[in-house]
Amino acid sequence: MSNGSDDRRAQAEPSTGGLSRSAMTNTPKIRMRGVRKAFGPKRVLDGVDLDVAAGQGMVILGGSGSGKSVTIKCILGLIEPEEGVIEIDGVDVLTLPRREREALGDRIGMLFQNGALFDSLPVWENVCFKLLAQNRITRAGARDRAVEVLAQVGLAETVGDLSPAELSGGMQKRVALARAIAARPDIIFFDEPTTGLDPIMGAVIDGLIVDCVTRLGATAVSITHDMASARRIGETAAMIHKGRIVWTGPAGNLGHSGNAMVDQFANGQREGPIQMELRR
């Protein structure tokens, strides 16, 4: 999918410098301890503990509405948790001054669950938005880079000139994915990257995510409901239930992990320790 010379260039970039530092000292890339968040009376996160090692592909599983997206948004600083510690490279981001936190965000990419493309801008500007914002690229250079990244997610050059509203749902998802990885971030969050894609394209996207992790050395945290995809993109999986991480283990074991909850979830069984709750 992606060409080799491009990836070598990426590795030479200073933005991946943080990785080697944390890999050496063995601090987890992301560390969450006791993170709690409620919206009004509704408690969503109730003490989330999570470690993601540097250069690892982590998959977060959990029922719909269990707080997976909220967890990621807390790490990104988009939602302020009431309590708890969130560390990136050993630095507590919640107490960090705003400017430093913004600087940290420069090395993080995010694919939003619903895409969140800017509909006032053409696709190519969406894809290279971060590079342009950081003045790392000229507008002419951005176009070329956009074509390159769009090709990686299986979109033709002509798509670059369309507006996001002119794309199908799955195409929007892929453009959003292209936008998340275009600046070659150090840490990437994928909120349901393959939902709404056909199985072949889903596999291609999974391959792309694995590529980001293995070849660019990024740390990827993905949310997915698709077990096949989870096994492909994750080395480690974590399951969230009732606001807590109830299980962490190798993604290959999903379905026969020995944890009744995880196995019920992974195998999609109706009977088991997880009861479908009616939302109150």
Partner 1 sequence: MAAILLDPLAAIGRGTLGACRAIGDVALFAIEAVSHLVRPPFYGRLFWRAFVEVAWFSLPVVALTAVFTGMVLALQSYTGFARFNAQSAIASVVVISLVRELGPVLAALMVAGRIGASFAAEIGTMRVTDQIDALTTLSTNPMKYLVAPRLLAATIALPLLVLVADILGVMGGWLIGTLKLGFVSAAYLKSTFDFLETGDVISGLVKAAVFGFIIALMGTWCGYRSKGGAQGVGGATTKAVVASSILILALDYVLTEIFFAQ
Indicate which of ligand ATP, Mg ion, partner 1, none lies near residue 173 (CB less than 5 to 8 Å, by partner kind): none
In the numeric block, which tokens belong to residue 109? Answer: 């990419």
The residue from 3, 65, 118, 267 that contacts partner 1 (CB under 8 A) is 118
Q: Angle 161-179-30 (CA atoms, 0-180°, nearest 5)? A: 175
Interaction with partner 1 in 84-113: which residues (CB under 8 A)? Answer: 102, 105-106, 108-110, 112-113
Smallest gap from Cβ 29 to partner 1, in A, equals: 17
Nearer to Mg ion, 113 or 163 (CB): 113
Nearer to Mg ion, 16 or 222 (CB): 222
How far apart CA 56 and CA 65 sit, in angstroms, is 25
Interaction with partner 1 in 174-193: which residues (CB under 8 A)? Answer: 179
What residues does 278 pair with on adjacent strands? none
Query: HSE (CB half, 13 Å, CA atoms) of 98?
Result: 2
How far apart CA 254 and CA 262 sit, in angstroms, is 7
By CB under 8 A, residue 76 contacts partner 1: yes
In the numeric block, which tokens belong to residue 136? Answer: 């790392």
Binding to ligand ATP by CB under 6 A, coded x per residue (else -) over 163-202, reads: ----------------------------------------
Three-state secondary structure along 31-58?
Answer: EEEEEEEEECCEEEEEEEEEEECCCCEE
Distance, CA of 55 to chain centre:
13
The CB-nearest residue to ligand ATP is 69
Going by C-beta distance under 8 Å and a sequence separation of 6 or more, which residues neighbour residue 139? 132
Interaction with Mg ion in 23-62: which residues (CB under 5 A)? Answer: none
In the numeric block, which tokens belong to residue 256? Answer: 């026969």
Indicate which of ligand ATP, Mg ion, partner 1, none lies near residue 130 (CB less than 5 to 8 Å, by partner kind): partner 1
By CB under 6 A, residue 70 contacts ligand ATP: yes
The residue from 5, 39, 120, 200 that contacts ligand ATP (CB under 6 A) is 39
The residue from 5, 64, 135, 168 that contacts ligand ATP (CB under 6 A) is 64
Tokens 């408690």 label which residue?
A: 43
Smallest gap from Cβ 89 to partner 1, in A, equals: 17
Smallest gap from Cβ 73 to ligand ATP, in A, equals: 8
What residues does 223 pair with on adjacent strands? 60, 191
Q: Count the Cβ atoms, other than its own, within 10 Å of residue 70.
A: 20
Q: Are strands 91-92 and 83-88 parallel, antiparallel or unpaired?
A: antiparallel
Contact set with ligand ATP (CB under 6 A): 39, 44, 62, 64-70, 113
Contact set with partner 1 (CB under 8 A): 73, 76-78, 102, 105-106, 108-110, 112-114, 116-120, 129-130, 133-135, 179
